[in-house]
Amino acid sequence: MKKQLFIVSLEVLFRKEKKYMNDKDLIQHLLDTISQQHNDLMVVVGTFIAIISLGLVILGYLQIRFSNKQIEKMKSEFKDDFKIDDINKANSEVKENISQLKESLKENKKIELSLKNQISISMNTNLGMAGKLLVNINKDTDPVLIGNNVSSIKIIFEELSDNGNITSHSFRILVLDMSKFLFELNEYNIVLDGGIVFLLDFLIKEMKQEMNNTDMGESNKSSLEYYLNLIAKGFEDMNKRTYKA
C-alpha cells in the first residue's frame, strides 16, 4: 500500500514538473527526492532504535538493581532462618577447641615420652642393682634369697627387652655379673631349687637372643660372646650339681 502511494506521488510530481523540466533534469530531481526521503527515513529509524536501546539499558539497570536487592534480602532471610551466623560461630569455636586439643595431645605425647625415658633409665638402673645383689653371695647365702634375686632380674630384663629399652651398657654389666655369679655359685657349691634353675636357664637364653637382636658393635659382641660362653659353662656345671644333689 505504501509502495503504491509512493509511485502515485512520483507520477503526480512527474506530471507537474514535466511542463518545466527536460527529461535529464526530471530524473535528477526524482533521485534527489528519493535520496532525501531515504535520509529522513534513516534518521527516524535511527532515532527510534536509540530510544529503544536507551529504554533497554535503563530497564536492564533497574532489573539488575532489583535482582541484587532481592538476592541480598534472600541471603539475609536464609541466614536468619537457618541461624547461619550461629553455625559459623559454633564452627569457629569447634576449630579452636580442636586446635587446642591437638596442642594438648602434643604436650601429652612429649610428657609420655619423657616418662617412658625416665622409666627406662630407672629400670636399667634397677637391673644393674639387682645384678650387684646377685654377685654379692658367699657360702652361707640363703638359696631362697638367691632365687628371689634371679626372679627379679628376669622380670626387669624381660620388660626392658620387650620394649627395646635395654641399653648396651646395662646389658654388658648384666653379662659380666651373671658370669661372676655362676662362678661363685659353683665355687661355694650352692645348690638351687629346680624352679630357680629353670628361671635361670630361661634368662640365659633370653640374654643370648638379646645380644643377637641388639646392635652392640663387633668388638663388644666378641667380648660378650666370650662371657656368654662362660655363663653357659657355669650353668652346665651348676645343673650337674643340682641334679646330682
Mention every residue, 6+ apart, whose C-beta is less than 8 A from residue 67: none
How far is Cα 168 from Cα 214, in angstroms, rounded to an integer? 8
- pLDDT tens for 114-165 read 888 888 888 889 888 988 888 888 888 898 999 999 999 999 998 888 888 8
DSSP assignment of the chain:
-HHHHHHHHHHHHHHHHHTT--HHHHHHHHHHHHHHHHHHHHHHHHHHHHHHHHHHHHHHHHHHHHHHHHHHHHHHHHHHHHTHHHHHHHHHHHHHHHHHHHHHHHHHHHHHHHHHHHHHHHHHHHHHHHHHHHH---TT--HHHHHHHHHHHHHHHHHHHHTT---HHHHHHHHHHHHHHHHHHHHTTPPPPHHHHHHHHHHHHHHHHHHHHS---HHHHHHHHHHHHHHHHHHHHHHHHHHH-
pLDDT category of residue 208 using cuts at 50, 70 and 90? confident
Residue 217: count of CB within 10 angstroms of its CB: 11
Tens digit of pLDDT for each residue in 160-184?
Answer: 888 888 888 888 899 999 999 999 9
Q: What is the pLDDT of residue 22?
A: 62
Contact 162, 213 (CB under 8 A): no
Residue 162: the pLDDT is 85
Place of cell 534527489: 32
The number of C-alpha atoms within 13 Å of 150 and in the hemisphere containing its C-beta is 24
With beta carbons less than 8 A apart as the criterion, state whether 207 and 174 touch: yes
Q: Which residue has the higher pLDDT, 6 or 201?
A: 201
Amino acid at 150: V
Task: Evaluate if residue 19 carries a pLDDT over 50.
Answer: no
Mean confidence (pLDDT) of the chain: 79
Instruction: Record the pTM.
Output: 0.56
**33-82 pLDDT per residue, tens:** 777 777 777 877 778 888 888 888 887 777 777 666 676 766 676 666 66
- Say how many C-beta atoms besides its own lie within 10 A of residue 156's C-beta: 22
